[in-house]
Amino acid sequence: MGVVIGETAEIGDDCTLYHGVTLGGTSWNKGKRHPTLLPGVVVGAGAKILGPITIGREARVGSNAVVVKDVPEGATAVGIPARILDAESKARDDQAKKMGFSAYAISSDMNDPMVKAVHGLIDHASNMDQKLTEVMAQLEQLGVHLSETQKAKDDFDPDQLNKIVD
Ligand X SMILES: CC(C)(COP(=O)(O)OP(=O)(O)OC[C@H]1O[C@@H](n2cnc3c(N)ncnc32)[C@H](O)[C@@H]1OP(=O)(O)O)[C@@H](O)C(=O)NCCC(=O)NCCS
Give the footprint of ligand X on this chain (CB under 6 A).
Answer: 4, 22, 24-26, 50, 66, 68, 80-81
Of the pair 80, 125, the CB lying nearest ligand X is at 80
Of the pair 51, 158, the CB lying nearest ligand X is at 51
Report the nearest approach of ligand X to the CB of residue 71 (Å): 13
Distance CA 53, CA 79 (A): 17
Report the nearest approach of ligand X to the CB of residue 89 (Å): 24
Report the nearest approach of ligand X to the CB of residue 5 (Å): 9
Q: Which long-range contacts (CB under 8 A, 24 or more apart) does 9-13 make?
A: 9/34, 9/35, 9/36, 9/37, 10/34, 10/35, 10/36, 10/37, 11/36, 11/37, 11/41, 12/36, 12/37, 12/38, 12/39, 12/40, 12/41, 12/57, 13/39, 13/40
Of the pair 53, 110, the CB lying nearest ligand X is at 53
Report the nearest approach of ligand X to the CB of residue 48 (Å): 6
Residue nearest to ligand X (CB): 24
Q: How far is CA 22 from the centre of its chain?
A: 24
Of the pair 4, 132, the CB lying nearest ligand X is at 4
Report the nearest approach of ligand X to the CB of residue 1 (Å): 16
Of the pair 80, 128, the CB lying nearest ligand X is at 80
Distance CA 161, CA 28 (A): 47
Residue 127: burial class (beta carbons within 10 Å; 0-12, 13-18, 19+): middle
